[in-house]
Structure 1
């Protein structure tokens, strides 16, 4: 185990003098001499595991698409209660620390009843109770930017029994996927009346814990998240005192692993990480490297409500212009191509549904035909125009999501080369996914920011390159040679036409499709990014959501989606778990189930053997010194 700092007693003479001075001020009698041989308790440092990560992300609400990251998944897994959790094979099992029973108790109306563990409570002292179910249901069915909202929209009522320790959830029809609901419960007693309670309290933390660890601190300047043992936890306590999630740039990864500054690393599989691992390949004990899929598929989502992409022929032309393989190769070459709207490459039995040609593959001839049919004309300069106005699109990516920003840059390059004027904006990820229009915030001017080090939303960091203004169609320059436009930091809000964002890669296929591509309810605006509504598609999604998925219905829904193109799937990134022999022995860390990740079971981990450098960069002294 890590060496402990020994207790160092004050010199006897100095200590006696201090005590004598204190005694003189209160009592003229001299104090008795101290017993210098009395046993003392050593001062020990907390046991901990330090995990290196790529970036912290914009926030930590596990139900928001904008907050999806390895760190958010880790925090939710360790600190938030779920009624069901996946086992090692990904099958959902009842978590009896949260609920002692959960079952269907009525078919008319379809009702699921939960008996909650009477000891289960939040770190604040409040019980985990029915109000937490009500709060999550109400938010998921009405808020934008959520993951897996379709199932919650099937619920008509959530009723409390037994002083809040029993819950009856009523659905408007039989819902076979009910076990997927009410994971990562949130503390309603803190959030329901808080301003911005669904999002603001998660920007730099999680308000309360209902798991074996609680989030103590988020230090964005240092790039660290600290979780500590949740002492009020009612079940078996965590073995170690602390878990630290620390941002580690790829170039420092070998040193951090060798010096035991970190015990394991959880980066995405990227070329720079491979180069870092090559440095360690020749060491006497090279690290263990495990691979697992990330719980999201990266995709482009098109604004179908209005603007130029409201015309399906323009969406077809855009899709036929883009080279998805080239995007993946430049951003995440070890990622797996995603060629379906619902299933992810990590799903058992995954089969691509993309057509053999466009829009599944780039095809300039198809793009030209689609734009021409939509009324556009390609001028001598290679630009597409309609009535003298250039075909122009705004591409949006969350400023805190460096990979999304890089995807946006490459998409803009490809569209510009195809004769389409492209502008990039990078507001904060929550703003991007919850607003019909956003500030034209400047992304980093030349290169992708290091993970977690991007400019704050709206800070206008850097000087953007010259904007490529509208060009006369008759101008004799072909093909177009201007760079994509980077939005200036000020100016009027703009609507985003092409959104770079993740979609979930786990859960039943019907609710998964309906949550992403289904018509939003009336109280969720249809003008928000990532929302679409196709009358020909919705009946298929309704059928899939309310039943066990029929492969024929899934196939038909995929055909409709490839025709309508509300989005364009790109790839599923792969994550790595990098560890050493000592960490493997003390933690048994694996990539874990896709929904809960490598920190699954962290409450049973112990601290790896060996000393570690402290935060000052100096080695902790041996106990013998």
Structure 2
């Protein structure tokens, strides 16, 4: 009995020892809860810009801007894209093949990637080719439309995933066509879709990013990853394009709120960036446009070539460039831009390459004009009056218009300046006589300010053709001008000319005749309504050549300087500014190809750190 009690005591002691060894906390304390999973953070890069532009159709002259270029590069599908050297390469995310399949008639066949689709889930298909072709051949104010006008048919195969494009004649540079395709399923039946539907953004995406918001009041365009993109997805969640004035831009780069910036180059932005020193890297990035004056040749005083030449002899192009865009590149040719390989000035030794008041006076006199006692030019009893137009949203263009008006007024020509919306100015034969919204329009935030108007010249100044000292004036519509709102034709148009594409097609698009065809019996006129029957065969040959003939290019330049349907001014230059964190995230952002710009390849950017 004692043995059993002893054994029981040993067992109890052993059990208590075991429990004591296994329990190092009170038995009523609960186990800790598992840690919650980390909350993912959105990755983004903020890109500073100085202007959002007036619209986002990359095929419209009115919508040309750095932001439109960035959006079209990242959002819209293109069959061919430029590589780092600017050479076009097939984008296989859009088309698996593209080749000439017949020479009689000349036919190019595209096999589209079956996975390629818009973010609305509609396929990128033949109807998008048809829509772009139809708009480019029939709408005014388009960019480099000559190649599209050679197309006679666009045929769909394989349920829209194969396209045959038929041309009226051989077109070796067909790879320049069908870039920045637009969504036909959304736009083709929308009233005013070519301009209106894209004024507030791009409704769907066919690229690695999509446009989420365009907030003009806040000055922001937000791009987000296109989650329906079928190829390699973007690394970043968002890219924010934010409009900033130079001081705010510099502060954002200093604090890290802005990683990259692509403003226009100018004194104000350079002064704001100077205190940052080596904390930022700055590169020049020429823009894919040349600012020019288009001189109307189908009516009004400038129908006379001698009057156009007189205007060219009066205008001081270098003074204008220095005042509104001192960091720009002086342009002295009608074809290539100054930043392009092979560019050479083609301007003649005298006027209109440089001002020549005596030549202007002789030309106007030969055209039948005489001067009154106040130095004003008239034809009989009709004063020589010109209307200069600039897009209201394009502040540098408005500054150019005001300076040209100064110079012409000082030479005895009556001038009115109008600034309607760009979409109207570049597409309509007449526009409302709307004066600029201010009497001292500022160029883009990065540029230098420019004087705007000048008082009427003294008789002595008018007689010599010299420009009077400039002072501010409160009027842009002169005495006897049409009432504000009245429809007027524009004699001198300040506009951007697109560069960087197929040179032959570019020249034919800008300076060729608007020739009716069976498919387009009433084609839109070119901006200056210029047509030279002698030059047209040369332009046609250039447009259809695989490599433009140097002799034909020289002939074209010589004729254009003599006829003067336009007066080249300058090629705008932007900046690419990046912080150390921005360089790390973008793998060393640079200017990029001329036509696609600094945001080329942004789908491979990573989140900034530091």
- Asked if Structure 1 and Structure 2 have the same fold, meaning a TM-score greater than 0.5 normalized by the shorter chain, the answer is yes
1:581 counterpart = 2:580: yes
User: What residue number does 1:262 align with?
Assistant: 258
1:493 counterpart = 2:492: no
User: What residue number does 2:609 align with?
Assistant: 609
SS at match of 1:486: coil
**More displaced stretch, 327-336 vs 528-537:** 528-537
* Alpha-carbon shift at residue 37 of structure 1 (Å): 3.5
User: What residue number does 2:419 align with?
Assistant: 426
Report the Cα distance in structure 2 between the residues aligned to 1:241 and 1:479, rounded to whole angstroms. 58
Does the 8 Å CA contact 2:284/2:576 hold for their aligned counterparts?
Answer: yes
1:241 counterpart = 2:237: yes
Does the 8 Å CA contact 1:158/1:169 hold for their aligned counterparts?
Answer: yes
User: What residue number does 1:516 align with?
Assistant: 510
* Alpha-carbon shift at residue 533 of structure 1 (Å): 1.1
User: What residue number does 2:341 align with?
Assistant: 348
User: Higher Cα Rg: structure 1 or 2?
Assistant: 2
* Alpha-carbon shift at residue 378 of structure 1 (Å): 1.8
1:401 counterpart = 2:394: yes
Shift in alpha-carbon separation, 1:465–1:371, aligned structure 2, 3 A: closer
Report the Cα distance in structure 2 between the residues aligned to 1:430 and 1:337, rounded to whole angstroms. 26
Q: Which runs of 5+ in 2 are unaligned?
A: 1-29, 447-451
Report the Cα distance in structure 2 between the residues aligned to 1:492 and 1:340, rounded to whole angstroms. 35
User: What residue number does 1:148 align with?
Assistant: 144
Which aligned pairs between 1:459-608 and structure 2 lie closer than 5 A?
485-487=475-477, 490-522=484-516, 523=521, 529-547=527-545, 548-588=547-587, 589-608=589-608
Say which of 321, 329, 345 aligns to 1:328.
Answer: 321
Report the Cα distance in structure 2 between the residues aligned to 1:137 and 1:515, rounded to whole angstroms. 15
1:382 counterpart = 2:372: no
Shift in alpha-carbon separation, 1:105–1:467, aligned structure 2, 3 A: same
Measured against aligned partners, the alpha-carbon deviations of 1:434-486 in whole angstroms (never above 9, x if no partner) come to: 11111111213232247599xxxxxxxxxx99998x9999x999989795951
User: What residue number does 1:112 align with?
Assistant: 108
* Alpha-carbon shift at residue 42 of structure 1 (Å): 4.2
Shift in alpha-carbon separation, 1:303–1:493, aligned structure 2, 3 A: same
User: What residue number does 1:180 align with?
Assistant: 176
Does the 8 Å CA contact 1:315/1:565 hold for their aligned counterparts?
Answer: yes
Report the Cα distance in structure 2 between the residues aligned to 1:551 and 1:479, rounded to whole angstroms. 38
Say which of 385, 396, 409 aligns to 1:416.
Answer: 409
Report how many residues are paired: 562
User: What residue number does 2:226 align with?
Assistant: 230
Say which of 187, 212, 216 aligns to 1:191.
Answer: 187
Q: Which runs of 5+ in 1 are unaligned?
A: 1-33, 454-463, 611-625
- Aligned CA RMSD, in angstroms, stands at 2.6
Which aligned pairs between 1:311-322 and structure 2 lie closer than 5 A?
311-322=304-315
Report the Cα distance in structure 1 between the residues aligned to 2:463 and 2:49, rounded to whole angstroms. 49
Shift in alpha-carbon separation, 1:166–1:572, aligned structure 2, 3 A: same
* Alpha-carbon shift at residue 271 of structure 1 (Å): 1.2
Say which of 300, 303, 317 aligns to 2:296.
Answer: 303
Report the Cα distance in structure 1 between the residues aligned to 2:227 and 2:483, rounded to whole angstroms. 46
Does the 8 Å CA contact 1:421/1:484 hold for their aligned counterparts?
Answer: no
Measured against aligned partners, the alpha-carbon deviations of 1:374-427 in whole angstroms (never above 9, x if no partner) come to: 111122212111112221111101011111111111111111111111111111
Shift in alpha-carbon separation, 1:484–1:504, aligned structure 2, 3 A: farther
Q: TM-score, normalised by structure 1?
A: 0.86
Shift in alpha-carbon separation, 1:472–1:392, aligned structure 2, 3 A: farther
Measured against aligned partners, the alpha-carbon deviations of 1:101-130 in whole angstroms (never above 9, x if no partner) come to: 001111111111100000000000000000
Does the 8 Å CA contact 1:467/1:485 hold for their aligned counterparts?
Answer: no
Shift in alpha-carbon separation, 1:292–1:472, aligned structure 2, 3 A: closer
